Structure 1
Amino acid sequence: MTTPTRPRMTGIGRVLVIVYAIMALAATGRSFVQIVREFDDAPLAYSLSALAAVVYIVATLALVFAGSRGWYLVAWIAITFEMLGVIVVGTLSLVWPELFGHPTVWSWFGMGYVFIPLVLPFFGMWWLVAHNPADRPVLAAA
């Protein structure tokens, strides 16, 4: 009896995971420095940066393991939350700038990160739609 193996991630999926991992590292580093140095100056903004870091870490892991249905669902949740976070925080940072004393990862729709936070969730969702594990045939044991 053989166990079916998870297909290896290649191509655009691998690039997507690398970009998510870079965003996870960048957001984690940024939020750590902000919280350690000057949390009292802008607790909301720096807490949102830390939340963004957690979301990027979860999304990275979920995309790596998205071949299983459980991780696939986690990827959808994380990427949807990311998209909503970027849109809400980005909008609020434009219409109510005094709410954020300092920029976050998602402020101004990710302008500090070359707008990657704005476009990344759309690529992530596209990839998830194209690679739904429910669409793959189940390999029978030989």
Structure 2
Amino acid sequence: MSSDNPDRSLASGPGRLIALVYTVFAVSAGARALFQVGTKFTEAPLSYTLSTIAAAVYIVAAVAIVRGRRTTAQIAVGIELAGVLAVGALSYAVPSLFPEASVWSHFGSGYAFVPLLLPIGGAIYLAQVRRRRSLYNSETACGGGAASVS
């Protein structure tokens, strides 16, 4: 990969903000989940396990964006979106499964719905990066260089 390849700059511009939010959520959800697993796991094992999984997914997404690993970031964002949609719906349909909330319960309402909005924003951003990469590849294949790629 050349130094001006768009994949190398996933963490620039909006990607920097997305990576920062993922990092903040990884730390906050992870610290809360570790405390809950360590002190009261038997009260709500599903909720606390799901929060731990969410924190791990946030870490993977943040690291992938910072390191320019677009495919890994897309997978993490996809897992997160599937998780928040499935757990969000299940927490309304069968509330007895969630005596305590997880990060993804009620579509992330305990976190101002950021767990729902973040993967949507991340997916949109990564799709734009993919389009830029396609443009970059087609321009370099035609001899146009990367001068027009910002």
- 2:60 is equivalent to residue 77 of structure 1: no
**Counterpart for residue 34 of structure 1:** 36
Q: Quick one: distance in 1 between partners of 2:56 and 2:119?
A: 15
Contact map agreement 2:33 2:48 (CA 8 A) in 1 = yes
Which structure 2 residues correspond to residues 114-125 of structure 1 after superposition, within 5 A?
A: 114-125=112-123
Q: Quick one: which amino acid aligns to residue 96 of structure 1?
A: V
- Quick one: distance in 1 between partners of 2:55 and 2:114? 14
Aligned residues with identical type, % of pairs: 40
Letter in 2 for 1:109: F
Distance 2:18 2:118 in 1: 8
Question: Unaligned stretches of 5+ in structure 1?
Answer: none
> Aligned residue for 1:91?
89
What secondary structure does 1:102 align onto? coil
TM-fit CA distance, 1:63: 1.2
TM superposition score normalised by structure 2:
0.82
CA separation of 1:44/1:12 partners in 2, compared to 1, >3 Å: closer, same or farther? same
| Partner deviation per Cα, 1:6-44 (whole Å, 9 max, x = no partner) | 347322111111111111111101110110110011111
CA RMSD of aligned residues (A): 1.9
User: Residue 131 of structure 1: SS of its match in structure 2?
Assistant: helix
Q: Which runs of 5+ in 2 are unaligned?
A: none
What pairs up with 1:1-142 in 2 under 5 angstroms?
Answer: 4-5=2-3, 6-7=8-9, 9-66=11-68, 71-132=69-130, 134-135=133-134, 136-137=136-137
